[in-house]
Amino acid sequence: MLGINARNLLYVHGLNQRRHFPLADDKIKTKARLLSAGVPVPETLAVFSNVSEVMQARELLAEAGEFVIKPARGRRGCAASP
């Protein structure tokens, strides 16, 4: 079994140049790069700058059915359903 810290140290940091980390760490930039390379990715419903924008977009999100909210920078997200 390989823990997340060991995985990052051995495979992510060990096999990739540090100058590429900002691209990999930003989901919006990564998605744009994947799309430009022809890699299929899930649809992005919206991009928000802060939590209050999310609260104001309840109608849009309600129409989406099930969706996932992910921070642009980070490694977590949460499934949501209106």
Segment 9-40, tens digit of pLDDT: 888 888 888 898 888 778 888 899 999 999 99
Write out the H or E segment, with its range, that includes residue 55.
Answer: helix 51-56
Output phi, psi for 39, to 5 deg. Answer: -85, 125
- Percentage of residues in the chain with pLDDT exceeding 90? 13
Domain boundaries, the chain: 1-41, 42-82
Q: Which pLDDT band holds residue 69 (cuts at 50, 70, 90)?
A: confident
pTM above 0.95, yes or no: no
Average pLDDT, the chain: 81
Q: State how far the Cα of 1 lies from the Cα of 4, in Å rounded to an integer.
A: 10
* Mean pLDDT, rounded, for 41-58: 83
Contact present, 60 and 45 (Cβ < 8 Å): yes
Phi-psi region of 65 (alpha: psi -120 to 50; beta: other; left: phi over 0): left
